Structure formats: structure tokens, C-alpha cells
Amino acid sequence: MTIPVAAPVRWFEQHRQEVATALAGVVSGGQYILGPRVTEFEQLFAQFCACPHAIAVASGTDAITLGLRVLEVAGKEVITSAHTATATVAAIERAGATPVLADIDPVTHCLSAESVASLLSPRTRAIVPVHIFGHPADIDGLRAVIGPRDIALVEDCAQAHGARIGDQPVGSLGLAGAFSFYPTKNIGALGDAGAVVTHDDRLARQLRQLRQYGWDEMRCSQLHGQNSRMDEVQAAILALRLADFRGAFRRRREIARRYDEALANHPEVLAPVTAAGATHAFHLYVVQARHRDALAADLRAQGIQTGRHYATPMHRQPAYRAIARAKSLRNVERLYERMLSVPIYPELTDHEVDRICEALSRWRAGGK
């Protein structure tokens, strides 16, 4: 049997009865958009992120867009990583800002504070650090670079539910944190959904308005808003996923530990590294190999799917070749030649994990 690189259906199959009960409750409740289940999930997720406010929205992309819109970034520059999903850069553009691409740290693959420092300008209004693969970005380093400037940190936490720096969860480290609940995420919905978390009361009020046409309590538009509302189905599912999170998080980290052990002292495949003081969420387990394509082919022949996150860096994609970027993106370029994602999700069986560990540990370029 082939082991898929991602399999969100497995969780739903394992929790079929709870899901059916939750969906039946939504249907019989009669309120399907921004209802009581959304409110309940917002409260639970705010607590999860150690923030007083969580604002549920329609997608992770909307979460970034709205998190930037409340900062009035239109006409300004927003710095982010050249190593990210397209959604990050697209969200910056949707907020009316100009994206500027920085290089990454060669170890954590997150936004490089040094590269960001070279890109700061009087037009810089915000920085969007991406907690890539589930590893927290260097927030302290970015704060040091920002110094006294009026530049906000809006965290892209789409891959990092549960990740921490010390005892602080991601999302609580900047002015706002944007989360995605796309089905394959560590907390995944039954469709698209997202949330913004923040400590700032004023931002929270504006975010709640912006997600629904800029309305006040009388449905009068005080701001130029949009339609980005979470529905009750997604909120009901996400409450179940959140209740199940601790066990799932432990399982992800246990699988990552098994892979680390399998790759210890491997001459050709590098395991991911976690920085001191960081807790990795392991949304993805990304190895590096000089003969990456040969490794992928070998795993595929053994029934193990792999992925490339991502196949093309942002600055090479036709739609984004002209946007501003650091003079050197050498760390991004090097990573894209070598990286490969192997399956990591809590529903992997012990037998499947054993298969992957054995395949990784035994592989050598040229079959030697």
C-alpha cells in the first residue's frame, strides 16, 4: 500500500461518529454563518494561542490580508520570505502593499533577520515572518532589526499550530498572528478556514468589522470590508480537532524523533534542525539531499509518496519575478535544489513509520 504524503481523510474516518454528530447539530441549529459554534471556537482558539482575541475568517490567506489591512499597509512595503506558499505574497498584494522578498536562515529556513535588515526602507510598514514547516521564525532577531521603527510583525502561522518559542505560542509573539485551517494543516477543517489572533483590542474590533463588510452592530459599513466569515460547519469540526490536538501534536513529534534517529549520521540525507529554545510543530518533515530526485524516486518505488514544499521559489514564479527582493537569495536557492518532504501526520501507523525509517536510513545515491 502506498503511504500518501498527506491524508486528512484518515482523521475524519477515525472520528466519523463525532463528526456526524457535530454536523447534525449544525444543521438542526439553523444558524450557519458566524453562529454560536464560531464564537465558541474563537474563545477556545484564543486560549490555545495565549491571546485575548481570535477572529475567525474564511481562509488563511484572508487572515494575513485582514491582519495587514488593519495596519493600513496600502501603498507601503511589507517584507516576507522568498521561501513560502504563494498565499503569503498574494495576501500582501491583496492588502494593497508591495511585497519585498528576503532570504532565509540556512538552518531553520525561516526569515533571515540579517536579510530583512538590508531591505528596510522608510516605506516598510510590516514584516510577515513565516513559521515555515512548523519551525518558529527568529522573532527576537527581527525585533532587534526593527528597533524603534513603527514596523509591525504579523506572523504567518499557517504551518505552525502549537509551535513555541520558550513558553510562548506562535501567533502571540507579534502584533497579530494569521492561521490557516486548510484540511492538511495540523488543525484542519473540512474546507477552507482561518483565524487572526491578537492582543490588541482595537485591532480585534476592526478585524471583526472587516471580515463582514465593515459593518457595525446596525449593519452599517463603517469600514471598507469584505466577506470573510467562518461557517458553523468549519467551527464545529475545528472544535473537535482542537480537543484532539495534544495527542496529535505528541504523535507528530514522536514520528519526527523516529525519523531523526533513522537519519542520524546519514552520509547523504540531512534531517531538519530545531533551534535552541524552539518547539517545532512538524507540519512537514523536510529532509535535504544533494541527490533529492533520486531519493524521491527510490521512496516512490517503495510506495512512499513525497512532496516538494515548494516546487518553485516565489521569485522564480512568472507572476512575481518583478517584485523587489534581496540582492542575494542564495539560501533559498540552495534549499530548493535539495529539499524533500516525507509523510508526517498523526494517523500514520507504526508499521508505516517503520517503513519510512528503513527506507530513509538505507538509501544511498547510486544504490550503494
What tens-digit pLDDT sequence spans the chain (368 residues)? Answer: 999 999 999 999 999 999 999 999 999 999 999 999 999 999 999 999 999 999 999 999 999 999 999 999 999 999 999 999 999 999 999 999 999 999 999 999 999 999 999 999 999 999 999 999 999 999 999 999 999 999 999 999 999 999 999 999 999 999 999 999 999 999 999 999 999 999 999 999 999 999 999 999 999 999 999 999 999 999 999 999 999 999 999 999 999 999 999 999 999 999 999 999 999 999 999 999 999 999 999 999 999 999 999 999 999 999 999 998 999 999 999 999 999 999 999 999 999 999 999 999 999 987 65
Domains and CATH numbers, the chain: 9-102+109-243 (3.40.640.10), 245-367 (3.90.1150.10)
Cβ(241)–Cβ(121) under 8 Å?
A: no
β-bridge partners, 361:
none
Q: Cell numbers 475568517 correspond to what residue?
A: 57
Beta-carbon-side half-sphere exposure of residue 15 (alpha carbons within 13 Å): 20
Phi, psi of 26 (to 5 degrees): -65, -50
Residues in the chain: 368
The answer to whether the CB of 278 falls within 8 A of the CB of 165 is yes
Entry pTM: 0.97
ω into 310 cis (within 30 of 0):
yes
